[in-house]
Amino acid sequence: MPDFEEIYKRYAPQIFRVCLGYTNDADQAKDLVQETFIAVWKGLPGFRNQSQISTWIFRIATNHCLRALEVAKRMPSAELPFNLADKEEESPEEKLSLLYRCIAELDETDRIIISLELEGLPQAEIAAVIGISSGNVRVKIHRIKDKLAQKLKVYEQFR
């Protein structure tokens, strides 16, 4: 059986980024990471390698995200262009913040799919986490990328 501490060290940053992609709120994302690893700790003795451990952990994390009814958004999206308008060059933090804001405007399940894709999970694994076919995941990722590109383009117009 894999060791909990090793699992935590390996997956906690990934889970945090996915939860942050869903919530766009660092504190809420940390809470979700904590809930996820409490569930992992409880479920680890019964984990029978029927799926990859990463699939299992991402399933737990994304299910906890979906259960969060009220998800905070740091800033209403409509205000964003005015706040960024006077900046000449975006810092890495601003780019990251912009990316998270754009993701936060997507539908809940789209947020999860694009977060897993950006995290680098293979599409077959994303399909296993979400519960839809790989073909469906591919189509969805294509559409989500288009939506995201459009949102980023809109924000960049205001710069």
Partner 1 sequence: MNNLDDLRAIWHSAKTEDLPSSKEMMQMVRAFRFQKLRNKWIVISLSIVFASLLVGVLIVTPFKMVSTYIGGGMIILADLWILISNIRSLKRFNQLEDCSNLEFLSFIEKTRQNQHYYYKNTLVKVVLLCSVGLGIYLFEPLHQHLLWLIGAYAAIIVYYGLLWFVVRPRSFARNQNKLDAMARHLNNMAGQLK
If you count them, how many residues does the chain have? 159
Q: How far is the CB of 82 from partner 1 (least distance, A)?
A: 19
Residue type, 122: P
Site residues (vs partner 1, CB under 8 A): 4-5, 8-9, 12-13, 16-17, 20-21, 26, 30, 33-35, 37-39, 41-43, 47, 50-51, 56, 59-60, 62-63, 66-67, 69, 92, 95-96, 98-99, 107-110, 112, 118-120, 128-132, 145, 148-149, 152-153, 156
Q: How far is the CB of 1 from partner 1 (least distance, A)?
A: 15
Q: How far is the CB of 76 from partner 1 (least distance, A)?
A: 20
Q: Which positions ≥6 away from 21 have C-beta within 8 Å? A: 100, 103, 111, 112, 114, 115, 118
Q: Whose Cβ is closer to partner 1: residue 48's or residue 78's?
A: 48
Q: Whose Cβ is closer to partner 1: residue 75's or residue 145's?
A: 145
Helix then strand then coil, % of the chain, to nearest 5: 75, 0, 25
Distance, in Å, from the CA atom of 118 to the CA atom of 14, rounded to the nearest integer, reads 10
Q: Whose Cβ is closer to partner 1: residue 76's or residue 131's?
A: 131
Residue type, 92: P
Tally of CB atoms within 10 A around 18: 28
Nearest partner of 39 among 67, 17, 20, judged by Cα: 67
Q: How far is the CB of 78 from partner 1 (least distance, A)?
A: 20
Q: Whose Cβ is closer to partner 1: residue 83's or residue 145's?
A: 145
